[in-house]
């Protein structure tokens, strides 16, 4: 099956509320990774999860931009319009996401889903969880202190559970703190620290001989492409452009 047809079929299954059809895009040993929820789900469990989701919500799923393709992978961005409790008259909540799929033949070995739920929706959800404003503030301060003093973000294998252990709270609480307290998700929160550290290295006269790839690895990124993408999103220019601008400014 052509990759574009694979994505088209995947979108159709979502919009037709076909839980099994969505799960059938995964190989028997494949896994669906829900990054914001920090979950890895097997095809069978995915069907049950989606059945519950479709009972609670009506939605529309749309592709944004071009599908990025390589030999054994697909990546694309999407927008989802979500209607709570299936009320057609209700104004939908829209949010953006991106999925990365690794393929083997006509099936996906892994589907990794990144998305940003609107902050207002997150706040409403967390208001029901028992996390008070004072607790939220305390955990925010603890998290920032740990990130600044211990520089946990420099660890390339840093995960939400590892960071929660360092803070001394549950994964669910930390996810709430990052989403509600900082208005972002785990990956963007960590990457903000990594990018700020990278900016200092790029500005340092003693590091001008360092390759940008070396700096990317030194601040915790696993690939040059991920570093460039995150840097440009946070700073508005590439690392090379930033370094050149800083050099020109100070000479």
HEC string of 81-126 equals EEEECCCCCCCCEEEEEEEEEEEECCEEEEEEEEECCCHHHHHHHH
Residue ranges of the domains in the chain?
Answer: 3-116, 120-184, 190-249
> Is pLDDT larger for residue 244 or for residue 131?
244
Q: Is the pTM value of this prediction over 0.85?
A: no
The tens digit of pLDDT for each residue in 49-70 reads 888 777 767 788 999 888 888 8
What's the pLDDT at 206?
56
Phi/psi of residue 99, each to 5°? -125, 145
| Token pair listed for 37 | 């929820």
Q: Which contiguous run of DSSP H or E holds residue 67? A: strand 57-70
As given in the structure block, the two tokens for residue 219 are 């601040």
Per-residue confidence band for 247, with pLDDT thresholds at 50, 70 and 90: confident
Q: Which CATH code is given to the segment(s) 3-116?
A: 3.10.450.50
Confidence check: pLDDT of 110 > 80: yes
Domain 190-249: CATH class, spelled out = mainly alpha
Q: How far apart are CA 18 and CA 3, in angstroms?
A: 20
Res. 129 pLDDT band, cuts 50 70 90: low
Does 159 have pLDDT greater than 70? yes
- 30/103 Cα distance (integer angstroms): 10
**pLDDT at site 137:** 85
Q: Per-residue confidence at 14, pLDDT binned at 50, 70, 90? A: very high
Which pLDDT score, from 0 to 100, does residue 125 have? 55
- Classify residue 227 by burial, with Cβ atoms within 10 Å: 0-12, 13-18, 19+: buried
CB 199, CB 235: distance < 8 Å: yes
């Amino acid at each position: 099956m052509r990759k574009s047809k694979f994505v088209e079929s995947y979108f159709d299954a979502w919009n037709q509320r076909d839980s099994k059809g969505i799960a059938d895009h995964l190989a028997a040993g494949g896994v669906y990774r829900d990054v914001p929820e920090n979950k890895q789900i097997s095809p069978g469990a995915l069907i049950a999860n989606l059945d519950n989701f479709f009972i609670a919500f009506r939605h529309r799923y749309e592709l944004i931009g071009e599908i990025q393709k390589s030999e054994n992978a697909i990546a694309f961005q999407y927008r989802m319009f979500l209607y709570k409790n299936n009320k057609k008259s209700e104004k939908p909540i829209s949010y953006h996401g991106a999925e990365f799929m690794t393929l083997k033949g006509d099936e996906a070995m892994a589907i990794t889903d990144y998305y940003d739920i609107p902050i207002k929706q997150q706040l409403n959800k967390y208001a029901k969880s028992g996390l008070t404003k004072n607790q939220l503030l305390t955990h925010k301060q603890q998290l920032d202190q740990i990130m600044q003093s211990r520089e946990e973000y420099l660890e390339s294998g840093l995960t939400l559970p590892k960071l929660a252990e360092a803070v001394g709270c549950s994964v669910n609480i930390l996810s709430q703190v990052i989403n509600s307290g900082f208005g972002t998700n785990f990956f963007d929160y960590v990457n903000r620290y990594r990018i700020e550290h990278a900016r200092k290295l790029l500005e340092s006269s003693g590091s001008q001989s360092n390759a940008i790839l070396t700096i990317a690895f030194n601040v915790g990124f696993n690939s040059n492409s991920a570093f460039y993408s995150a840097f440009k999103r946070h700073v508005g220019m590439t690392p090379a452009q930033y370094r050149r601008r800083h050099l020109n400014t100070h000479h």
